[in-house]
Amino acid sequence: MAQQWMSKLGYQWKEEEKGLYIDSHEQEDVVEYRQNVFLPVWQSFECRLRNWKGDDGHLMQEEDSGELLGHCRVVVWFHDESTFYAHDRREVRWIHSTERAVPKPKGEGVSLMVAHFVLADYGWLQSKDGAETARILFKAGKGRYGYFTTNNIIAHANLAMDILEKHFPNDDHILVFDNATTHVKCPDDAPAAHDMTKNPSKTWGAVVTIKDTRGSVMRDTEGKLLKTKVRLADTHLADGSPVFLLSGRPRQSRLV
């Protein structure tokens, strides 16, 4: 009886829908970047984008703007990362009356991340015959490929640009990435807690990859990257006062 009344009141027994994550969207630095950097830049090339409008349920391309004359069309590729798990399955589905519960593996299982570029104009970023694609598969985690960092983002961008230069030379291309902390890059000698000890020690410092005068990484005879330890760079506190990290000044380590 109670269930019937719940239905009459407009309630349904079902899995709760997931909404948009809003974490950090209104932080001061995020708002500053969005309003004063991202949106003005977008507005500067918006007149050169393809605009789409609906007509009886079908997408139709609007006529070119006069501002496009003498310029290439701008296309914006959005970088997307999706992670799938070995034990992904539907929790709510149609179940026949003859079905019986079966043992299921515990946990989510191993993961596989798929990273790609996509846009409305051309779809997925790939050659017209599909032989070359910007899609990459990444096995994240300790003991696997590690974690998707700035170096992976740069490598993925280079892969995308090679395909765009070869197969889409008549457009101006823009690659858009999520403003995630794992996508940004600090200097190799930037202060980081995992490179510090409470007091000066042999392990203090940042381990960086050695590069030659042209900026290319150097490797040993076995092909492994050559690394060295460098002094952490100086920094500033929130109030602007300087912090000198192990540069010969007395009591400097107490400022960290």
| Domain extents in the chain | 25-67, 72-87+110-185, 187-256
Instruction: Name the percent of the chain lying above pLDDT 70.
Output: 86
Question: What's the farthest any 2 CA atoms get from each other in the chain?
Answer: 80
Strand partners, 118: 78, 124
Q: In this model, does residue 107 exceed pLDDT 70?
A: yes
Q: Which segment, 12-16, 190-194, 218-222, 246-250, is predicted with the most confidence on average?
A: 218-222
Beta bridge partners of 53: 60
Residues 183-199 have pLDDT tens digits of 777 787 777 777 777 77
- At residue 67, the pLDDT reads 58
Question: What is the C-alpha separation between 135 and 160, in angstroms, rounded?
Answer: 9
Query: What was the pLDDT predicted at 94?
Result: 84
Residue 35 has a pLDDT of 94
Say if residues 127 and 101 touch (Cβ distance below 8 Å): no
CA 192 to chain centre: 21
Tell me which of 12 and 134 has the higher pLDDT: 134
For residues 117 and 160, the answer to whether their CB atoms sit within 8 Å is yes
Residue 254 is predicted with a pLDDT of: 44
Q: Decide the pairing of beta strands 171-176 and 73-85.
A: parallel
Query: How sure is the predictor about 70, in pLDDT bands with cuts at 50, 70 and 90?
Result: low
Q: What is the pLDDT of residue 64?
A: 54
pLDDT digits (tens, 9 = 90+) for 119-158: 988 999 999 999 999 999 999 888 888 888 888 898 999 9
